[in-house]
Amino acid sequence: MISFNYETDFKLSSEEDVSKWILETITLENHKLEEVNYVFCDDEYLHKLNVEFLNHDTLTDIISFDYSVGKQVAGDIFISVERVADNAKDFNVSFDVELQRVIIHGILHYCGYKDKTDDDAKVMRSKEDSYLELYNQKFS
């Protein structure tokens, strides 16, 4: 099950399409969906989680709590829509594209991809690009 929760005025335009895309991504990565909860929030909300749970006193666009076991994908993904909007400007992409990238980034972590080293980050970015293309082909 995939659920979308909102701690801000933001709302996804098509939860159904995004859910289908996430499920297809998980399936293509040879994993199975258990339960993923997305929480869309503002910088203040996410900053508080970052300090409280990760001891990071910084702003970030996404924090994911991974409860996956083996190939069963489960977790909570918190996304700051304010940070996504700022990053979209910085990277010169639309808000929607940056949001999709962040949404799938969390899922890719749950499927075992890392991004701490340069090589891992390149693989992660390539996977993100591939699944963004899939979204555009099927749902745009």
Residues in the annotated binding site for Zn(2+): 105, 109, 115
**Long-range Cβ contacts of 114-119 (<8 Å, 24+ apart):** none
Q: d(Cα 4, Cα 29) in Å, to the nearest integer?
A: 22
The whole-angstrom separation of Cα 29 and Cα 49 is 29
Binding-site residues: 105, 109, 115
Rg (CA), the chain: 14
> Which residues lie below 8 Å from residue 39, measured CB to CB, with a gap of 6+?
5, 6, 7, 76, 77, 78, 79
* Distance between CA atoms of residues 96 and 66, nearest Å: 24
